[in-house]
Amino acid sequence: MSDSAFHYVDGVLHAEGVSAASLAQQFGTPLYVYSRDALTRAYRAYADACAGRPAVVHVAVKANSNLAVLNVFARMGAGFDIVSSGELARVLAAGGKAENTVFSGVGKSAAEMREALEAGVKCFNVESIPELHALNEVAKSLGKRAPVSLRVNPDVDAKTHPYISTGLKSNKFGVAFSDARATYREAHAMPNLDVVGIDCHIGSQITEISPYLDALDKLLELVEQIEADGMSIRHVDVGGGLGITYDDETPPDIGDFVRALLAHIQKRGHGQREVYFEPGRSLVGNAGVLLTRVEYLKPGEVKSFAIVDAAMNDLARPAMYEAFHRIVPVVKRDAPAHRYDVVGPVCESGDWLGRDRDLAVEPGDLLAICSAGAYGFVMSSNYNTRPRAAEIMVDGERARLVRQREEVRQLFAGESILPD
């Protein structure tokens, strides 16, 4: 398994001190299972590396927005990075604080800006000149000044999947590097904006430190130019995107990653500035698994299929990104393995969770889809009118239901048919 929180005891997969088989029996499948210990250890790796430095951690809510997960981080003093007013509501409901929350995202509406300003968020990461003007007008209508940071696109190749690369010229995110200095001058001239920082996020599932250092070099050079124009940049937001091990990837250790970036900033003469980290996947990805039950084994002329009760609506990453997740048996069988595509019941050829997996399984057996804590449940849907899975948090030898399984009648409760 990719994380020590999930391990085998006498051939049975456990989440911390609880048998995964017992969780499936008690709560049914498909079932998302999270480890509080894994969440805690990942966050502390960031926080410990930041200790004694002007550096803070804002958890990227988009990776996993379950209230119990967010509450684990809030209890440890985390800040949060949001991309919608809905995520702001979740942060507040989970015990987080607006004043420790950064509002990112390329398409904030005026209503969302208003809600965030009234709540008192820490900063807006702004991504275009039209957004600057919109935020200035909203702040003016409320008699406030909005703290802003511009997300600058440094045109650095993060060497990751094109769908999760965000720092190239061709991506929709951020202000073009060549336009950034002039955009800062324009923001500074707006009476209801307060320029406080600079932001950069180059992609996701990044397994090397070098792209971050390349982006930082360009960012810090720009900071010097901006301050020469009479503005003060108090913080540098390096974003998130640090990868995890899904298969054989070898991303840097979290502490080594943080210390390398902070040392680089210090070396460049900017050690006095506050540094924001916005991790998501590296906090929650390997803190969760998706449990699913084998319904049928279907032999085929070219391929054989293990048809399970989880599907692309439960875990979209394989269908969307051709992403790899390890798939392991919950109870190991002493039997020959056969090669299967692990697929779901959704009526799409793209409904697969794993291809060409060697598994010793029978109908009724349980499988665990690993590294499912990030962009798992949070991206799930009700396609084919399928209720979304339940979510469980394991804490030592206790398991708590932190989201109930949906029921079919809930899925169309807000719909109506035409009158006669």
Give the pair of three-digit tokens for residue 320: 């969307």
Question: 122 with 148: CB under 8 angstroms?
Answer: no
Question: 85 with 116: CB under 8 angstroms?
Answer: yes
Dihedral of the CA atoms 326, 330, 336, 339 (nearest 10)? -30
Give the integer Cα–Cα distance in Å for 412 and 235. Answer: 46
Q: Are strands 101-103 and 338-343 parallel, antiparallel or unpaired?
A: unpaired
- Residue 179 has a CB neighbour count (10 Å cut-off) of 16
Question: Which member of 123, 200, 347, 370 is catalytic?
Answer: 347
Write down the H helix ranges in 175-209.
177-189
Residue 35's nearest CA partner among 380, 388, 371, 389 is: 371
| Catalytic annotation present for 50 | no
Q: How many CA atoms lie within 13 A of 297 on its CB side?
A: 12
Q: How many CA atoms lie within 13 A of 81 on its CB side?
A: 23
Give the integer Cα–Cα distance in Å for 20 and 13. Answer: 6
- The residues carrying an active-site annotation are 347
